Structure 1
């Protein structure tokens, strides 16, 4: 059960900071407060390794054929960088969507895993985007982190301790299996993360699956199987998602033509680019409107 005073405090903080449309940071690096008073359309976004605790309302995220919904008291753990479509589905002005999101510190998690990993066993890995009900201890720890984030002295003295506790609890959570697997040296999850890093670094280039498999230290068939299991998509589709999302950023930033955006992200055919862009975003790239200068 999420304490009502925590819901109220987070919502009030976001409103005071003017973050109803975008969410806002806090005094703790990597901790974000979110409050939305209405449902939102699904937007393409890259989920970095992160956890999100929903305090009120609900949100959904979709990656290819996998769709997850997380509501009040539930937490999302994302262990690998994933291009998803996500939107708030349950929110009203009286009962807004309220959440706290924390960027995961894999170095902190790894240091903890070295201490507790063996005791947790080597269960079968889950998906890299997993949702489950949060226990009272995790909700309490994240709530304490938010509250101390308002006090610079407490941030300096106490935030590292609470952050370590939160990562500890995530590693032990029922949906922390993929996070545990990621931290296990030479596990499939760890090897796939190397290939993902390669795709993100070189998303504009032609990347043969053989090269990605070699980077992961796997055969092509094994690599493809594990990549699909962990991310619900294929390596080439993952690269395409990155290209389209970067192209959209260029277009809404203004000053870039459709053809220029297509070539800039690695497409050889603006026609193919336009077709795939419209399929993903529901609007042809020529119809994208640049953001106003003050918002871009």
Structure 2
């Protein structure tokens, strides 16, 4: 069944202008990754989604947690996390191929409400990232979703039903408890997800953790405990990481002024920004940007 998913994705990629890269598809929330070489680790925001390796292997770090997943396995992200990912197995002969499907919390909540008590296993609020071997029902659903790329005019009719089916099989799988924790409106995972959305919406603004906890209806103590259990960092650290990731994007886009990048993401001191950047990425801003540009240039030349 995995070969059917590979064939459907490769058929879509065969019509693209380039062979390798990250491809946004016409299917809402579906992204295909295709690479012929291992990639350097990089930080990104992982939104609630299921990421599937079709060929090759990947690795993701969240704090001190390291997760490996390979062909036929999926990375389940049940809250929006800032993590570091890397392709660990890829070659010109066997390129990496993966696909990610964003999960619709409203659909998950609707489907979860229809499940019987026996399907609603105890949910943990402390798991935001996990790897699962995908069952045949999930893979079959993904195959049919990928085949919609050949008949995009059918998406308005067929996609909603397939998304509901995928949600059903995931909720019935061993990933179910984590998803149930996300969709319970009054649960800590759902409340933390709301706080993460607030942080992402205006990360350059100074935040007061007490106000953030109150905004999502949690006591300060409970908010701190559940936030760190899911993200592995405090709210202030999460905001700092968001700022540094955005600053790197600004510098990569061609703005060589470190001070302006620092101020654009909310820092009041360029010196403090450079120190935080160096601790987070391992190099000062200018050296890191130059290194990444040289790495990209050498890849293109090769």
Cα pair 1:213 1:219 within 8 Å, conserved: yes
User: Where do 5+ consecutive residues of structure 1 fail to align?
Assistant: none
Cα deviations by residue, 1:50-96 (Å, 9 ceiling, x for unpaired):
11111121111112212211111111111211111111001112222
Distance 2:282 2:152 in 1: 44
Q: Secondary structure at the match of 1:259?
A: helix
Note closer, same or farther for the CA distance 1:122–1:137 as it changes in structure 2 (3 Å cut).
Answer: closer
Pairing 1:166–2:172 present: no
1:152 shift after superposition: 2.4
1:134 shift after superposition: 0.5
Note closer, same or farther for the CA distance 1:234–1:10 as it changes in structure 2 (3 Å cut).
Answer: same
The residue number in structure 2 matching 1:187 is: 187
Pairing 1:178–2:178 present: yes
Instruction: Give structure 1 regions of 4+ aligned residues with deviation exceeding 6 angstroms.
Output: none
1:260 shift after superposition: 1.1
The residue number in structure 1 matching 2:89 is: 90
Q: Secondary structure at the match of 2:113?
A: helix
The residue number in structure 2 matching 1:211 is: 211
Mapping 1:202-241, distance limit 5 Å = 202-241=202-241
Cα pair 1:258 1:286 within 8 Å, conserved: yes
Mapping 1:49-68, distance limit 5 Å = 49-68=48-67
Q: Secondary structure at the match of 2:241?
A: helix
When normalised by structure 2's length, the TM-score is: 0.89
When normalised by structure 1's length, the TM-score is: 0.91
Distance 1:130 1:265 in 2: 30
The residue number in structure 2 matching 1:244 is: 244
Cα deviations by residue, 1:136-190 (Å, 9 ceiling, x for unpaired):
1101100111012211243333222111111111222212322211111211111
Note closer, same or farther for the CA distance 1:188–1:179 as it changes in structure 2 (3 Å cut).
Answer: same
Cα pair 2:34 2:98 within 8 Å, conserved: yes
Q: Identify the range of structure 1 (175-184 vs 142-151) with the bigger mean alpha-carbon deviation.
A: 175-184
Q: Identify the range of structure 1 (86-95 vs 13-22) with the bigger mean alpha-carbon deviation.
A: 13-22
Distance 1:201 1:153 in 2: 33
1:45 shift after superposition: 1.0
Distance 1:195 1:278 in 2: 27
Distance 1:60 1:209 in 2: 31
Cα pair 1:113 1:180 within 8 Å, conserved: yes
Note closer, same or farther for the CA distance 1:110–1:117 as it changes in structure 2 (3 Å cut).
Answer: farther
Cα pair 2:77 2:129 within 8 Å, conserved: yes
RMSD: 2.1
Q: Identify the range of structure 1 (149-158 vs 42-51) with the bigger mean alpha-carbon deviation.
A: 149-158
Number of corresponding residues: 291
Mapping 1:105-184, distance limit 5 Å = 105-116=104-115, 118-125=117-124, 126-184=126-184
Distance 2:78 2:84 in 1: 17
Cα deviations by residue, 1:243-269 (Å, 9 ceiling, x for unpaired):
001111111112351111111211122
1:118 shift after superposition: 4.2
Distance 1:19 1:63 in 2: 31
Cα deviations by residue, 1:6-45 (Å, 9 ceiling, x for unpaired):
3244235325414544321333222122221111111111
